[in-house]
Structure 1
Amino acid sequence: MSEFRSKPWPGVLIAIAAGIGMIVAGADLWLVAAVLLLWVCSLWIARPVERMVQPQTDSVQLTRDGMRDMIEQFSLPLLLLDRNRIIIANSAARVVFGKHIVGQDARVALRHPQAIALLDRKRDGSATIQGLTTPRSIWKVTLHSINDRYWVIELHNRTTEADISRAHTDFVANASHELRTPLASIIGYVETLTEEGDSVDPATSAKFLDTVLREARRLQSLVSDLMSLSRIEAEKHDQPAEQLDFVKLVAKAARDAGAAKDKSRVSITLPETEVTVRGDTQQLEQLVRNLVDNALKYGAQDQPVNVVLKTEEGDRAVFTVTDRGEGIDPEHIPHLTRRFYRTDPGRSRAAGGTGLGLAIVKHIVERHRGRLDITSKKGEGTVVTVKLPTIEQTR
C-alpha cells in the first residue's frame, strides 16, 4: 500500500477517467491525447519535489541524533533542553543525576533554588551552586541558548578544587603554627639571656641554651620535612625508573634510624635472595627511617622493634615495622597520615616529632604505586605494612 501511494497512479487513473469523459463529450481524440499526456507528465515532474521535502524532516531527526552521539562521550555532564524539558543527557550527566532525568522538567531534575532561578531567567548565564548533588558538592552550572526553544546546560564539578584549596589553607595555617611555636620559644629564651646578661647564673644559662638548641633542631627538622613533603608531592605522578635491591636498602636505612642508644633494639629480618623494586633510593630510605624512628619513639623502651622484609605471591615486596608500645585507639588510625596529626601532641613534641613522618611515608608509597596499612591494638603495639611491586630480574 505504501508503495502504491508513493507512485502517481491515482493521478493517472483520474487523468484517464477525465479523457474518457472528454471523448463522450465529443472532444477530438488528438486533443484528449494531448491533455492526458500533459497531465501524466506533470504528475511525474511534480514527484521529485515531494522527495526533496521529505528529507528535511529526516534531517531534523538526524541532527538531534547526531548531537546525542556528539556529547555522549564528553567528560562534563551536559543536558539538552527543549524549553525546560530535558531531551538529551550524556553519560556523565546520567551518572550524576540518574537515567530517569531524561524527559523530566529540568527544574524538577536539578531541584535547587539557584539552578531553578538560573533556568527561569531565560538567558545565557552561569551560577556556582553548593549542594547541587550532595551537601558538600560545589558545581558551576552554565546555561547556553541554541535558539528560543533549545538550551544546553553545562556542569563543572568544582568540589575537588574547593577541597584542595581548603586543604592548602589548612596546611598553611598548621605549618605556620608549627613553625611559630619553636620560634617563639627560641626568641623568648634568647631575649631573656640578652636582657639579663651576666646576672644569669651559669646553670640557668646552660639550661636556656639547651632549650634553644633543642627548639632550633626541632625547627630544622620541621623545615626539612616540609621540603621533603613538597618535593615528594611534586613528583607523585612520576613513577621512579631506577631498579634497586630493596633488601640492601632496608638493611642500611634501618640501621641508620634512631639514636645510637636505641640501635640495639632494632631486630632486622631479611630474605636471602635479592628483591628488586623500581624506586627512588633517597625516598625509600626516608620511608624506612621514618617508620623505624616512629617505632623507636612510641614503642616501649625496653621492647624490640621488629623490621621484616619478605615477598608474597603476586610479585610484591612486603615491608613491616612492629613495635610493642601502648597502641593506638581505632578512631585515630584513619587520620594518622594527615599532615600534623598527632594522637598525643605533647608526647609527640617531647619525642621530637614533627607530625609529618607518616604523611611523607604515605606520599612515597603512592608515588611507588604501593600500599600502606596500619594496624594497632591497645596495650599490644602497632604494625605498619608497606607493599611495593617488584620487578623480575634479567640475568
Structure 2
Amino acid sequence: MAREGIAVEGRGRPWDWILAQLWAERVLISAAVFVGFMMWAGGFHLGWTFFAVALLVLAGLARVERMEERSSRPRVAAAASAPAELPVVADPLAEIATVLDALDMPALLVTSDETVKLQNRAAEALFGIIPRDSDLAGRIRSPGILDMVREAISSVQPREIEHAERLPSESVYIVRVTPVRAPTAPDEKPRLFLIVFRDVSHARRIDRMRSDFVANASHELRTPLASLRGFVETLQGPAKDDSRAHEKFLAIMHEQATRMSRLVDDLLSLSRLEIKANIPPDEKVDLKPLLGHVRDSLQPLAEELGVEVVLEIPDSPVVVSGDRDELTEVFENLVENACKYGQEGKRVEVRVTGGGGEPVEVSVIDHGPGIAPEHVPRITERFYRVNVEASRSKKGTGLGLAIVKHILTRHRARLTVRSELGKGTVFTVRF
C-alpha cells in the first residue's frame, strides 16, 4: 500500500514504478547467481555457496527498501504540509468580541478564576485597556462588585448590585453578572461569566432633582409667596382706597416676584448642569477675551457699589477646554459676589496665571470682611448662606456658588477658597 500510494502521488503512473522494481530485482538475482557460480567454480562447498547467494539477495532487497523509504519521505511531508489539507481552527472568543463591541454599555467577559478574557470598547472607555488574562481585581477595586462576581461564580446564578462612583463625577451603575452556558452542553458548569455595567446616573439625578427641587423650592418660595399673599389681602381690604399704600406695596410685591423669578431660573440652570455633569466639554476657550467681557458686563454694578474691577492677564492667549457660556457664568458669579460681599475693600482683582503647558489658575480676590473658617467648607451647598439677611438684601438666591461648583465639576476643574476675617477672600479656579 505504501509503494502504491507513493507511486500514484509522485507521478500518477504505478506501472512505471512496478517495472522499475522488477528490473532492479532481476539485476540483483542475476548478480547473486553469478557470484554463486564463481564460488562453486572456485571449489567452495555447495552449502556455503547457497548461503552466500541468499545473504546477497536479502541484503540487496533491504537496501532497495531503504532507498524507497528515503525517496518517499519528502513527498509525504510535502503532502502533509499542504495548506489546503490543514484544518482551520478559529479563535472561539473572536465572534464573542464582535458581539460585545456592538453593545453600548461596558461589558467584561471573565473566567471562573476571575481572569479577564475580553472587554468591549465601552469598557475600554470606562476602565482603560485591560490586558487579556489579567486579574479582575487588578482593575476593579470595588469590594462589592468583586464579592458579587465571586458569589455568582460559586452559585452559577445571575447576580446584580448598584455601584456608585464619585470621581471624576458622580456616576451610578447597575452591575450584573450572568453565567455564559455553552449551547452544546447546557448542563455543563459554565466557565465564562459576563459582567455588564448599565449607567443609571441620569435617572438617579432626575429623581434626586425632583426631591431637591420640591424641598428647596418650597422652603425658599414660602417667604415671598406669603408676602405677596399678605400684600394682596391688604390691598383688597384696609388699603383698598389708599394710593400711597398701593405704590409702596406694589413695589415690594414686584421685588418679591423678581426674587422668585431669579430663584426659579437658578434652579433650572442647576438642573440642566446636573443632567450633563458627566459629559466634559471639548471646545477650546481663550480666557483673555472672556474675562474682559465679564468685567465689561459687570462694570455698571461695580460703579454702583463703588468697586474697581482690575484684570491681571498675560499678553499671550490663555486657552482651556470648556464651554464658553458656562465659564462666563462661573466668572460672572465669582466677580459679582466679590463686588457685593467685598464692597468694603473697594477693589476686586481677577488674576490669571499658568498656561503654556502649566495648569491655568484664575483667582478672584476681594478685600472685604472675609468668611469665618467654619463656613468655608459649606459655601458651595445649595441655599447655604453665611449671612441670610445680607444675602437676601443683596438679592442672592443661595445657588450661585452651587452653580459654579457644578460647572467646574463638568469641566474637571477645582474651586478652592482661602479667606481670613478682616482681610478678604480669594476664590481660585484651577483647570
TM-score, normalised to structure 2's length? 0.56
Tell me the amino acid that sits aligned with residue 345 of structure 2. Answer: P
Please report how far the alpha carbon of residue 156 of structure 1 lies from its aligned counterpart in structure 2 after TM superposition.
Answer: 0.5
**Residues in 2 aligned to 1:335 and 1:154: alpha-carbon distance in whole angstroms:** 39
- Counterpart of 1:348 (choices 391, 396, 413) is 391
- Counterpart of 1:130 (choices 157, 162, 166) is 162
**Residues in 2 aligned to 1:94 and 1:337: alpha-carbon distance in whole angstroms:** 36
1:74-105 CA distance string (max 9 Å, x none): 99351332xx333434574997xx95458xxx
- Counterpart of 1:374 (choices 396, 417, 423) is 417
**In terms of Rg, which structure is larger?**
2
Correspondence for 2:217: 176
Please report how far the alpha carbon of residue 218 of structure 1 lies from its aligned counterpart in structure 2 after TM superposition.
Answer: 0.8
Please report how far the alpha carbon of residue 189 of structure 1 lies from its aligned counterpart in structure 2 after TM superposition.
Answer: 1.4
Correspondence for 1:154: 195
1:241-288 CA distance string (max 9 Å, x none): 68863574354234222683xx22x13334598675669887666545
Correspondence for 2:373: 329
Please state if 1:255 is matched with 2:299.
yes
- Identity between Structure 1 and Structure 2 (%): 22
- Counterpart of 1:80 (choices 99, 107, 110) is 110
Tell me the amino acid that sits aligned with residue 214 of structure 1. Answer: E
Tell me the amino acid that sits aligned with residue 308 of structure 2. Answer: S
**Residues in 2 aligned to 1:29 and 1:248: alpha-carbon distance in whole angstroms:** 108
User: For 2:237, what is the secondary structure of its paired residue?
Assistant: helix
**Residues in 2 aligned to 1:174 and 1:218: alpha-carbon distance in whole angstroms:** 18
Native 8 Å contact 1:250 1:288 kept in 2: yes
- Cα distance change, pair 118–167 in 1 and its aligned pair in 2 (3 A): farther
- Cα distance change, pair 312–28 in 1 and its aligned pair in 2 (3 A): closer
Correspondence for 1:213: 254
Equivalences for residues 194-273 of structure 1 within 5 A? 196-198=237-239, 208-226=249-267, 229=270, 237=281, 239=283, 245=289, 248-257=292-301, 260=304, 263-264=305-306, 266-270=307-311
**Aligned Cα RMSD in Å?**
5.7
Please report how far the alpha carbon of residue 180 of structure 1 lies from its aligned counterpart in structure 2 after TM superposition.
Answer: 3.1
1:49-87 CA distance string (max 9 Å, x none): 9879x977x947x54699799989x99351332xx3334
In structure 1, stretches of 5+ residues that fail to align are: 1-22, 103-107, 389-395
Matched residue count: 346
Native 8 Å contact 1:182 1:219 kept in 2: no
Deviates more, 1:362-371 or 1:37-46: 37-46
User: For 1:193, what is the secondary structure of its paired residue?
Assistant: helix
Correspondence for 2:12: none
- Cα distance change, pair 258–245 in 1 and its aligned pair in 2 (3 A): closer
User: For 1:353, what is the secondary structure of its paired residue?
Assistant: coil
Please report how far the alpha carbon of residue 384 of structure 1 lies from its aligned counterpart in structure 2 after TM superposition.
Answer: 1.8
Tell me the amino acid that sits aligned with residue 384 of structure 1. Answer: F
In structure 2, stretches of 5+ residues that fail to align are: 1-52, 120-126, 138-142
Equivalences for residues 306-317 of structure 1 within 5 A? 306-314=347-355
Please report how far the alpha carbon of residue 354 of structure 1 lies from its aligned counterpart in structure 2 after TM superposition.
Answer: 0.7
Native 8 Å contact 1:287 1:361 kept in 2: yes
User: For 2:355, what is the secondary structure of its paired residue?
Assistant: coil
Correspondence for 2:151: 116
Please report how far the alpha carbon of residue 129 of structure 1 lies from its aligned counterpart in structure 2 after TM superposition.
Answer: 0.4
1:86-126 CA distance string (max 9 Å, x none): 3434574997xx95458xxxxx995546872586255xxx5
Correspondence for 2:180: 145
**Residues in 1 aligned to 2:80 and 2:233: alpha-carbon distance in whole angstroms:** 102
**Residues in 2 aligned to 1:350 and 1:382: alpha-carbon distance in whole angstroms:** 20
- Cα distance change, pair 88–35 in 1 and its aligned pair in 2 (3 A): same
Native 8 Å contact 1:275 1:317 kept in 2: no
